[in-house]
Amino acid sequence: MAKKEELSPIAKRRGKLVYEAFQEEPDDRDILFQSSVMAHCYLPRREPDLKPNEIWQAESGKFSLYVMPMPIRNPVTHEMQYLGLPYGVKARIILATLNTIALKSQNRIIDMPANSVTDFNNYMGFSESGSQVSTVRDQISRLASCVVRMTYDGTEGQHNINLPLVSGFTLFPERNPDQLLLWPSQIELSEAYFHNLMEHAVPLAKSHLTALSNNATAIDWYTFLAHRLHRIQPNKPQFLGWQTIKAQFGGDYNRMTDFRANFKKVHRLVKSLYTDARVEEKGARGLMLHFSQTPIPKRLITNGLNDKL
């Protein structure tokens, strides 16, 4: 008889987070807010294979996302260098956290704690290990040193929205001048982005994001469903073909069969948390989306904004 394979500590912790999130009552959920623009186009899911100064671009229908790296002057070598593009689950959860701080304070200028990377890390639900803290600092460095722009092709021309703009940051190059550690003293959201956030923020369950924090595609699909499903008319479901889904969520895949097999697993994981999401699998054709309640009851959203972090 084959010996049962033991789960790794990480897999056990992930399973525990999913179970705890599933058990959580909707009325008890803490809220994080994501920008609605991030329900259409997404940051890279893994570190892109691009030149240091190359622009990342993602498109979905009339929406386009551009992430433009900007060089930083190394205070030791005095040379200009790039810190890289933000990517992965942590960049997404960091952005949602910054959005939430801005909305709760009703202020687009966010003062960052001077030396509280660990506290900021803990609030987001990540572990206290040195590698996790280092990764969070790295992703904030990348977000802070990039210009992020969303464009929308409307009937009256192209609309442009700039995402978080950093007004100040500090570099700590003493240990290794080749690896700049950046911690912004202040993050300023652009006026257009902040107003868009005030009007169209997508409320997400913090426990769900934590449970999905090893899978960027799952976070993107969860955000998409949270934004889309409650806008569908009850008697008019919307169909998404696999080609459309792959164009938005499967840029890393060449073969449709590989993408579809993996995405079905992603969908079932998201559905295990967002249990009110009514999505039918239509075999090789695609998915049928039906009107569904949001993962956060609407009556809790105002209360969530009034709560302190």
Q: Compute how many other C-beta atoms are within 10 angstroms of the C-beta atom of residue 81.
A: 16
pLDDT of res. 18: 52
Q: What distance in Å separates the CA atoms of residue 251 and residue 306, rounded to the nearest whole number?
A: 38
Q: 73 and 158: one domain?
A: yes
Going by pLDDT thresholds of 50, 70 and 90, the confidence category of residue 62 is confident
Residue 53 has pLDDT above 60, yes or no: yes
307 found inside a domain = no
Residue 267 has pLDDT above 60, yes or no: yes
Q: 104 and 154: one domain?
A: yes
Average pLDDT, integer, range 282-302: 87
Residue 231 has pLDDT above 90, yes or no: yes
Average pLDDT, integer, range 45-54: 93
Residue 17 has pLDDT above 80, yes or no: no
Going by pLDDT thresholds of 50, 70 and 90, the confidence category of residue 189 is confident
Average pLDDT, integer, range 201-212: 93
Residue 232 has pLDDT above 70, yes or no: yes
In single-letter form, the type of residue at position 158 comes to Q
Q: 193 and 55: one domain?
A: yes
Q: 81 and 171: one domain?
A: yes
Residue 303 has pLDDT above 60, yes or no: no
Q: 166 and 250: one domain?
A: no
206 found inside a domain = no
Q: 18 and 60: one domain?
A: no
105 found inside a domain = yes
- Closest by CA position to 184, among listed 277, 114, 254, 270: 114
Which of 139, 165, 200 finishes a domain? 200
> Which residue range(s) make up the domain with 276?
9-25+215-300
- Closest by CA position to 304, among listed 91, 111, 27: 27
Residue 81 has pLDDT above 60, yes or no: yes
Going by pLDDT thresholds of 50, 70 and 90, the confidence category of residue 262 is very high
pLDDT of res. 308: 45
Q: 248 and 147: one domain?
A: no
pLDDT of res. 208: 94
- Percent of the chain beyond pLDDT 90? 44
254 found inside a domain = yes
- pTM for the whole structure: 0.85
Average pLDDT, integer, range 61-71: 89
Give the pLDDT confidence of 125-147 residue by residue, as tens digits: 676 666 777 888 889 888 888 88
Which of 175, 200, 225 finishes a domain? 200
Residues 6+ apart with CB under 8 A from 102: 108, 110, 189, 194, 197
Q: Is pLDDT larger for residue 115 or for residue 254?
A: 254
Q: 223 and 195: one domain?
A: no
284 found inside a domain = yes
Q: Is pLDDT larger for residue 3 or for residue 182?
A: 182
Q: 175 and 239: one domain?
A: no
306 found inside a domain = no
- Closest by CA position to 58, among listed 148, 141, 139, 144: 148
Residue 114 has pLDDT above 70, yes or no: no
Going by pLDDT thresholds of 50, 70 and 90, the confidence category of residue 19 is very low
Q: 57 and 186: one domain?
A: yes
Residue 116 has pLDDT above 80, yes or no: no
Worst-scoring range by mean pLDDT, 168-177, 212-221, 232-241, 260-269? 168-177
Q: Is pLDDT larger for residue 31 or for residue 75?
A: 31
Average pLDDT, integer, range 148-167: 78
| Three-state secondary structure string covering the chain | CCCCCCCCHHHHHHHHHHHHHHHCCHHHCCEEEECHHHHCCCCCCCCCCCCCCCCEEEEECCEEEEEEECCEECCCCCCEECCCCCCHHHHHHHHHHHHHHHHHHCCCEEECCCCCHHHHHHHCCCCCCHHHHHHHHHHHHHHHCEEEEEEEEECCEEEEEECCEEEEEEECCCCCCCCCCEEEEEEECCHHHHHHHHHHCEEEEHHHHHHCCCCHHHHHHHHHHHHHHHHCCCCCCEEEEHHHHHHHHCCCCCCHHHHHHHHHHHHHHHHHHCCCCCEEECCCCEEEECCCCCCCCHHHHHHHHHCCC
Average pLDDT, integer, range 191-204: 89
Q: 21 and 40: one domain?
A: no
- Closest by CA position to 80, among listed 110, 122, 113, 52: 52
118 found inside a domain = yes
Average pLDDT, integer, range 159-185: 68
Q: 155 and 238: one domain?
A: no
* Own/partner long-range contacts of 6-12 (Cβ < 8 Å, ≥24 apart): 10/214
Q: Which residues pair with 109 in a beta bridge?
A: 188
Average pLDDT, integer, range 106-113: 83
Task: Give the burial class of 155: count Cβ atoms within 10 A of its Cβ; 0-12 exposed, 13-18 middle, 19 or more buried.
Answer: exposed
Which of 172, 200, 228 finishes a domain? 200
209 found inside a domain = no
Average pLDDT, integer, range 279-308: 81
Number of structural domains (the chain) is 2
